Amino acid sequence: MDKKNIILIVILAVVVIFYFQIMEHLGFYEPAQETQQPIQDTTTTVVSPADSSVPLTTGQIPVEQQPISPTTGQAADAAMPPDSVSHDTIIVNTNTYTVTMTSFGGGPISLILNKYKYRDKTPIEMLPEATAATPEATFAGGTFSASQINYRSNVPPGQYQATSTPLEIVYTYATGDGGEIVKRYTFYPDDYHFDLVFQINGREQFGFERKYNIGWNTPLGVTEPQPDQDYDAMEAVAMMSGSRETLDDFEDDRLNQLLVGNTEWAGLRSKYFAVAIIPRNRQADGAFAQGVKSKITTPDGSVEVRRIVSGMEMSFANISSLSDSFTVFVGPLDYTLMSSYDVGLEDVLGIGTTPFIGWIIKPFAIGIIWLLPRLYDFVPNYGLVIILFALLIKVVTMPLSMRSFKSMQAMKDLQPKIEEMKKKHKKNPKAMNAEMMKMYKAHGVNPISGCLPIIPQMPLFFALFSVFRQTILLRDAPFIWFITDLSRGASGLTDPYIILVVLMIAAQFVSQKMTMTSTQQNKALMYVMPLFMGFLFYRFASGLVLYWACFSIFSLLDYAAFKRNKNQKVITA
């Protein structure tokens, strides 16, 4: 690989890293248009789906919520404090989660995933520090919250099983003069969602007009041992007119954003888990997100905490009764599972959604997501699966590697002649380039052909990078020895996981030393590139580090096969 090839690689890397900025500058890409809501003047709180109902304390993880006063004319007991009805709860057990519901607010205040655990082996809570039932519907600019009134349930308090057949729970609030709010929940044995039918009867008795907001009113919590990576992945997302939109326009560490347009769903994601509200009988008119960012200090250093809530705007006509149905997804970021909802919910992961080039990457990513579990069925260890996968990829790309090796070998064999030309035409670069091109043509050598075989492999590499960083398959998956979780990376130089990074650096160095042409520029690249990749990868999922180390090792096998093939010789004289 000569200097021109190095420049080509650097240019490609820059294009990939700054892709969106370049496309926007050239006028090929325009960010989604938005309507920006005014930021609150307070310094410690931001609004929730109820406009001002979820204060987020800066610098702290717990969330404290102030009750929202109902509109004038409500029943006297409508705004009873949660403590007075805290015992009036219903627990529903399914095969996938356990949900706790309260009559104050008429909905879930806890949802625990049965099959996914924190690293201390306790089940994951998807409503950490919840202070109001969710999803939360709010009216009249946030002055009335349907999660701040007391309901009557169709079943008495207790524990119910939905492990073999669906279960329906209905909460009803009546004003006594014809006004009624009904929440009808249906839970299923094996699904990561529940259905919600939200009804308003006698709308005029409440004074509701034009629209209401419905949203997930509790920020997601940290589930991973490296909280900075979990917080980095936290974002509000929505599907609007078939396009994935990210609501992340923080200003002065505050998020208060509204996007207007047809909305198929809206939700939140962390590194490995997500929630989403999906309207079923009609589309929403917009998606919103609110939150705060703040710095906290942990034993591992400073962490930027993100506390985000999100939801949708639902308009309604001037009619007496209103009924909307929703599917509420609460579960893992599992591409196959989420794609079964047929609303593009799998795009929460962001795989293959990059404008212009996403359609190239997505088929590779889907193929990887499909193949890994199939290999796991035969080899029930994801570390071994990654090794086999790296070997498989190396076998598939072997023809491209052989072509690259052939070109590099040709350049290596021609290197003495190139050095002679450089000395001979030291003061005449134009003559030197002309003579070198004649020599390349005479020997059938293309000076950039060593890099060209890499280009078709780039979509595969980006797909691997995207999938391995966020696939739920590697979460808490053990390999061997100290590698007990292939989804986490090294937290520092003293972390045992750094050993795998060192192995990757060594494998890449040896691979480059054996295969690259020995030039002054390549010698520098030979030492710098493995260290750079190690610095880049050391906090990534150890499964990705393992793959890259194995791929580098298998490249040596490629090169050994090439050296044994006598037909690959290049005549230089």
> Could you tell me which of 251, 192, 194, 202 has the C-alpha nearest to residue 46?
251
Which tokens belong to 4?
């021109």
335-341: average pLDDT: 93
Q: What is the DSSP string of 283-333?
A: -EEEEEEEEEEEEEEETTEEEEEEEEEEEEEEE--S-S-EEEEEEEEEEE-
- Lowest-pLDDT range of 82-96, 106-120, 142-156, 342-356: 82-96
Phi-psi region of 97 (alpha: psi -120 to 50; beta: other; left: phi over 0): beta
d(CA 179, CA 321): 10
Is the pLDDT at 339 greater than 80? The verdict is yes
d(CA 263, CA 269): 17
Query: Using 50, 70 and 90 to split pLDDT, how confident is the model at 68?
Result: very low
Q: Which residues of 481-501 are buried (b: 16+ CB within 10 A; e: fewer)?
A: eebebbbbbbbeeebebbebb
What is the per-residue pLDDT for 448?
60
- Specify whether the CB–CB gap between 275 and 108 falls below 8 A: no
Residue 44: other Cβ atoms inside 10 A: 14
β pairing state of 193-201 and 254-269: unpaired
Vertex 385 angle, CA 380 and 387, to 5°: 140
What is the per-residue pLDDT for 266?
96
Is the pLDDT at 297 greater than 50? The verdict is yes
The H-or-E segment that residue 113 falls in is: strand 107-117
What is the per-residue pLDDT for 11?
53
Query: Using 50, 70 and 90 to split pLDDT, how confident is the model at 435?
Result: confident
- Report the half-sphere exposure of 331 (CA within 13 A, side-chain side): 22
Which tokens belong to 108?
């879930």
Amino acid at site 537:
F
Sequence spans of domains, the chain: 30-34+45-354, 371-568
Amino acid at site 109:
I
Query: Using 50, 70 and 90 to split pLDDT, how confident is the model at 550?
Result: confident
Q: Burial, 381: exposed, middle or buried (Cβ in 10 Å; 0-12, 13-18, 19+)?
A: middle
What is the per-residue pLDDT for 269?
94
408-437: average pLDDT: 73
pTM for this predicted structure: 0.76
Is the pLDDT at 15 greater than 70? The verdict is no
What is the per-residue pLDDT for 431?
75
Q: What is the pLDDT of residues 188-212, one digit of tens each?
A: 999 999 999 999 998 888 878 888 9
What is the per-residue pLDDT for 170?
95
Residue with tokens 């985000």: 308
- Specify whether the CB–CB gap between 470 and 495 falls below 8 A: no
The sign of the torsion formed by the CA atoms of 553, 555, 557, 559 equals negative
Which of residues 176 and 112 earns the better pLDDT score? 112
175-197: average pLDDT: 93
Average confidence score pLDDT of the chain: 77
Question: Would you state the torsion angle of the CA atoms of residues 423, 429, 432, 437, taken in this order, to the nearest 10 degrees?
Answer: 140
Which of residues 204 and 215 earns the better pLDDT score? 215
30-34+45-354: CATH topology is Beta-galactosidase; Chain A, domain 5 (2.70.98)
Which of residues 50 and 498 earns the better pLDDT score? 498
Query: Using 50, 70 and 90 to split pLDDT, how confident is the model at 135?
Result: very high
> Could you tell me which of 223, 221, 232, 266 has the C-alpha nearest to residue 127?
221
Alpha carbon 409 to its chain's center = 41
- DSSP class of residue 348 equals G
Is the pLDDT at 146 greater than 80? The verdict is yes
Which tokens belong to 141?
């600019």
What is the per-residue pLDDT for 526?
66
Is the pLDDT at 83 greater than 50? The verdict is no
129-148: average pLDDT: 89
Q: What is the pLDDT of residues 364-406, one digit of tens each?
A: 888 889 999 999 999 899 999 999 988 888 888 777 766 766 7
Q: What is the DSSP string of 135-189?
A: SEEEEGGGTEETTSSB-EESS-SEEEE-SSS-EEEEEEEE-SSS-EEEEEEEE-S
- Specify whether the CB–CB gap between 511 and 466 falls below 8 A: no
Query: Using 50, 70 and 90 to split pLDDT, how confident is the model at 27?
Result: low
- Lowest-pLDDT range of 61-75, 167-181, 384-398: 61-75
Alpha carbon 42 to its chain's center = 31
Query: Using 50, 70 and 90 to split pLDDT, how confident is the model at 572?
Result: very low
What is the per-residue pLDDT for 564?
66
What is the per-residue pLDDT for 446?
65
Residue 310: strand pairing partners: 216, 289
Q: What is the pLDDT of residues 496-545, one digit of tens each?
A: 777 888 888 887 777 777 666 555 555 666 667 777 777 777 677 888 88
Residue with tokens 């580090």: 545
**Torsions phi, psi for 501 (to 5 deg):** -65, -40
> Could you tell me which of 83, 193, 82 has the C-alpha nearest to residue 147?
82
Which of residues 40 and 149 earns the better pLDDT score? 149
> Could you tell me which of 240, 239, 262, 259 has the C-alpha nearest to residue 249?
259
What is the per-residue pLDDT for 559?
67
The H-or-E segment that residue 470 falls in is: helix 458-470
- Lowest-pLDDT range of 79-88, 214-223, 375-384: 79-88
Is the pLDDT at 9 greater than 60? The verdict is no
Task: Write down the H helix ranges in 19-164.
Answer: 19-26
What is the per-residue pLDDT for 456?
67
What is the per-residue pLDDT for 37?
38
What is the per-residue pLDDT for 561?
66
Residue with tokens 């308003």: 200
Which residues, 6+ apart, have CB-to-CB distance to 264 below 8 Å?
Answer: 238, 239, 240, 242, 278, 279, 283, 284, 343, 344
280-284: average pLDDT: 93
Which tokens belong to 162?
């939905």
